[in-house]
Structure formats: structure tokens, C-alpha cells
Structure 1
Amino acid sequence: MKLTCNQATTICDKSQYKEASFLELLKLNLHLFLCKKCGKYVKQNSILSKCYKKKRTIDCTKNQCLCDEEKRTMENNLKEKL
């Protein structure tokens, strides 16, 4: 049931994209209760995600968005590297 900090940050990232299971979220919350460094990571990660979403919204209104094909290519490249 115990998580390492690396596992906790991975679950944190997954949870932001709604990919974490209920059990993973439960483990993460327990870990965050005990580990202040990971709690700080969660806050910083949340802030970065909000900033990115805001920037993306602004860029899309200026027609500077990636097309669907470019998005798929980037997603595939990221999956290959993971």
C-alpha cells in the first residue's frame, strides 16, 4: 500500500488527465498526507497545468493551434518515449 515519491508523482500526473484509478487516488492521498514534498509537487503541477490550459485557449482564439494530425503525431511520439 505504501508508495514511493516517484510512484506518487506518476499517479498525480495521471489523475490530472482523469486516468488514475480509485485505488491509485486513495494511495496518492495517503502518501500526500505523509509527504509534504509531494504535496508541493501536486500544487506546482496543478498551477502549471492551469497556465498551459489558459495559454492554449488564448492561442486557439488567435488560430495558433495544432491541427489534429499534429496532435496525434505528438501524442504518438510521447507514447513511444514512455
Structure 2
Amino acid sequence: MNKLFMSCEEASHICDKAQYNESTFWERLKFRTHILFCGLCKKHSADNHKLTEAIKQSKIVCLDSKTKSEMKKCLEQELKNQKL
């Protein structure tokens, strides 16, 4: 493909990069041109944006490393017990 047009696979990758502000100006320009002609990629972009916003608003709390380590030990012990 030429420099202005891109495949849907490349458009999807740039869409993902753009969600995290990792895309260049040129990539965003090419992506916007692509979604003018591709309804599937336009829908993917809208869905991706909704998902990103939902995650931002969800106020997810991650486990601390001590709790993760304890859970890992318990899981490993249970797996070990099942093999016996």
C-alpha cells in the first residue's frame, strides 16, 4: 500500500497506540483518513474508546505485591496437592 493508505490491521494497531498517546502525528493522520473509508475500523475505534473510558472510570484497585505473592503460593500449593 502507499504511504497514505494502510491495512485494517495497521489501522487497528495505530488505534490502540493512539488510545495511550503513543502514536505519531503522521500515524493519526493516516488513521483518520483510513476510517473515513472503513466502517469496521471506525466502529473498532469507537468501541476501543468506550472501553478505555470505562476502565478509567472503574476505579480498579490492584493487589499489592505481598498479597499477589501469597496468592501465588496458595495456588502453587493447591496444584501440588492435586498432583498427589
User: Same fold, TM exceeding 0.5?
Assistant: yes
Over 3 Å counting, the alpha-carbon distance change for 1:20 and 1:67 in structure 2 is farther
Question: In the alignment, what sits opposite 1:32?
Answer: 35
CA deviation profile, 1:17-45 (whole Å, cap 9, x unmatched):
00000000000000010101100000001
| C-alpha distance in structure 2 between counterparts of 1:42 and 1:65, whole Å | 27
2:49 aligned with 1:46? yes
- For residue 11 of structure 2, the aligned residue among 2, 8, 12 is 8
- Structure 1's consecutive aligned runs of 4 or more residues displaced over 2 angstroms after TM superposition are 64-68
| C-alpha distance in structure 2 between counterparts of 1:67 and 1:15, whole Å | 29
Q: CA RMSD in A?
A: 1.7
Q: How many residues align?
A: 63
Please report the TM-score for the alignment, with normalisation by the length of structure 2: 0.67
Structure 1 segments unaligned to the other structure (5+ residues): 71-82
Q: Give the helix-richer structure, 1 or 2.
A: 1
Aligned identity (percent) is 35
Please report the TM-score for the alignment, with normalisation by the length of structure 1: 0.69
* Counterpart AA for 2:34: H
Shift of 1:66: 4.2
**Structure 1 residue matching 2:35: 3-state secondary structure:** helix
